[in-house]
Amino acid sequence: MAGLVLLGLASAVLAEPVLGDVLFERKTKGEEDFPPAIFSHWNHRVKFKCYVCHNKTVGFEMKAGSAKITMALIDDKKYCGVCHKGQPAFGVGFESCSRCHRK
């Protein structure tokens, strides 16, 4: 039972954007009802060095807004999909939308 309470508290903490988070504004028309993705830069930065994501292979430049990320590119193992296609991080799919797309 205590584990469920802690899990609930962790989810509540993750739901609120914090300083350093990156908000990926949607550019596609007709998807206004679906919230934009919030990237937890701090969570990733604690675990990895900058060059893990900011390199030519993954594609993130050091300037916010420079990456034109789409779900199709993530499914093709580009950008976030390099890690978030099941290995080493959680997979991207309908069951995990709210981990990134939060109001």
For the chain, counts of helices (H) and of strands (E): 3, 2
CATH number at residue 94: 3.90.10.10
The structure's pTM equals 0.70
- 95 C-beta neighbours (distance < 10 Å), count: 9
**Amino acid 79: pLDDT:** 93
**How far apart are the C-alpha atoms of 42 and 13, rounded to whole Å?**
13
Number of domains in the chain: 1
Answer whether residue 7 shows pLDDT above 70: no
**Amino acid 16: pLDDT:** 62
Give the residue-averaged pLDDT of 2-18: 47
What domain range is 94 assigned to? 2-99
For the chain, what is the mean pLDDT? 79
